[in-house]
A and B are shown apart, each in its own frame.
Chain A
Amino acid sequence: MNPASGLPRTVDEALLRLQERPDTVALAGCTDWMVRDRLARADAPPVIDLLAIEELHGIEEIATPPSEAKRPAGADADPTTPPPLLRIGATTTFGEIRVDRRVVEGYPILAEVASQIGSRQIQNRATLGGNLVNASPAGDSLPVLLALAAEVEIASPDGRRRIPYDAFHLGYRETALGPGELLTAVLLPPPPPHQAFRKVGTRAAVAISKVMVAMAAHSRQGRWSSMRIAAGSVAPVPMRLRAAEKVCEGAPIDVETATEAAEAAWGEVEPIDDVRSTARYRRWALSRVVRRLLLEM
């Protein structure tokens, strides 16, 4: 506890505070939460500051628990040491993620999306955990986390648990986070060798996404395996393009596969018209970007 302000300095203290005052809002980078009018800010509920909690912050490699030390079929197997996971604390900013060596080398699409979120000023404040909990359909990092098969770590008064990202983000601005719970970290499994990402935004910077595509895959003898393709801003939550993935699975890495997957992607999304774009455009751009990324990945 901060002796001057009485504010929590540890996750346990924060959880206790959330139990005592269930309407308490846990603040992180605030780049979305502070965008509200003067009256809403004046009438805001009590807040705590997660940025002051050291254990929520930072990037580290952690050992894979032996029970989970399995690898995707077809990947080069190393029977001796299970590869480490990358644990990214919930309040790690995109500015930190953007330049972290382990991210840049192992998960380049995460570094890339981090560099395309808002502006430098936003990246210096916005946190990975905040992007997850905010659960916007246009949350930039979310399709990347889905493609990378990320898991999230949640702390509750009863202990900690880990769930896959797609079991976390349930609907439009709706997550699996229960009352009194905190998202504490994101865990990335060992990096897939092929990764690609594209954000189609409203302009070159400080843009909101119209369409996002993130993909990650392995390959063996010139064929795709373990393909995961995720799309953002085309549905209330980021979605896997399972038909496109299916086209790729075991298929040769070539133009025909890319084109066929693009057609499959076209057929499996139902985007909407909104202030930023049209359904027609989103579907068209999504399909073309899927093809392009498969050609370039």
Chain B
Amino acid sequence: MKVHFILNGKAVEAEGRPTDRLLDVLRHVFHLTGAKEGCGEGECGACTVLLDGRTVLSCLVPLIQVDGRSVITVEGLAATEKGHAYLERFALKGGTQCGACTPGIVLSGAHLLQEHPHPSHREVAHALAGNICRCTGYQAIQRALSEEPEAVLDSTLLPAADAEREDGS
């Protein structure tokens, strides 16, 4: 089947089987390899992306359910000015070590910060509980997200979710 969706603010189309994983479509069709397959069964969070503004696991999203929706990946976050600054501070504070969980972690983190600009420790822990990190013990991630200056946390952190549809469908 052919699906149309908004990917990082741009209208795109993809051809595939209805049950193809969004993760594979992103990685193999669009060559966006930020999202990783850590487990392939929804347990690790390394494949986290935003679907219609909410965090989801792209290894569990079939292509059929992407039609007409908006997808934001870490590459989209990195492409905005504020997103890039947020990511750089995240690295500076030790939020990434091996980096394999990082694309998922920073998306869960960005989503949290947009909803709660000054999250408590518990809010951070709850919001990121679905992202396994095996390197940091989560402490540096906690510090990075708790200390993020509010100035960056407006709607321009993430790419627009509603780009013009080229085909009008």
Chain A residues in contact with chain B, CB under 8 A? 2, 4-5, 7, 27, 30-31, 34-35, 41-42, 44, 46-47, 49, 51-52, 95, 118-122, 124-125, 204-206
Contacts of B62 in A (CB 8 A): 27, 30, 34, 47, 49
Contact of A4 among B18, B42, B169 (CB under 8 A): B169
Per the 8 Å Cβ criterion, residues 50-109 of B in contact with A are 51, 54-57, 59-62, 64-65, 67, 108
Quick check: A118 and B61 within 8 Å, CB to CB? no
Quick check: B64 and A119 within 8 Å, CB to CB? no
Of B1, B59, B65, most A-chain CB atoms within 10 Å? B65
Quick check: A31 and B169 within 8 Å, CB to CB? no
B60's closest neighbor in chain A, by CB? Answer: A34
Q: List 14 A-B contacts (CB under 8 A).
A: A5-B1, A30-B62, A31-B57, A34-B42, A34-B59, A35-B40, A35-B41, A35-B60, A41-B20, A42-B19, A120-B130, A121-B56, A121-B108, A124-B51
Quick check: B61 and A30 within 8 Å, CB to CB? yes
Report the minimum CB–CB distance from A37 to chain B (whole Å). 8
Quick check: A120 and B127 within 8 Å, CB to CB? yes
Interface secondary structure of A, over-half rule:
loop
Quick check: B129 and A41 within 8 Å, CB to CB? no
Report the minimum CB–CB distance from B141 to chain A (whole Å). 15
Contact of A122 among B17, B51, B57, B108 (CB under 8 A): B57
Quick check: B64 and A34 within 8 Å, CB to CB? no
Contact of B60 among A31, A42, A95, A205 (CB under 8 A): A31
Report the minimum CB–CB distance from B121 to chain A (whole Å). 14
Contacts A47-B62, A118-B42, A125-B57; A42 near B129 (Cβ below 8 A): no
Quick check: B48 and A121 within 8 Å, CB to CB? yes
Asked whether B126 is an interface residue with its Cβ less than 8 Å from the other chain, the reply is yes
Contacts of A27 in B (CB 8 A): 62, 64-65
CA distance A205 to B3 in the complex (A): 34
CA distance A52 to B3 in the complex (A): 13
Contacts A35-B42, A206-B43; A44 near B56 (Cβ below 8 A): no
A207's closest neighbor in chain B, by CB? Answer: B129
CA distance A79 to B88 in the complex (A): 64
Quick check: A124 and B54 within 8 Å, CB to CB? yes
Of B20, B56, B131, most A-chain CB atoms within 10 Å? B56
Contact of A47 among B19, B55, B57 (CB under 8 A): B19
Contacts A34-B21, A44-B19, A205-B130; A124 near B65 (Cβ below 8 A): no
Contacts of A124 in B (CB 8 A): 51, 54-56
Asked whether B45 is an interface residue with its Cβ less than 8 Å from the other chain, the reply is yes
Contacts of A118 in B (CB 8 A): 42, 130
Report the minimum CB–CB distance from B64 to chain A (whole Å). 5
Contact indicator per residue, chain B 102-136, by CB within 8 Å of chain A (1) or not (0): 00000010000000000000000011011110000
Report the minimum CB–CB distance from B166 to chain A (whole Å). 14
Contacts of B43 in A (CB 8 A): 206
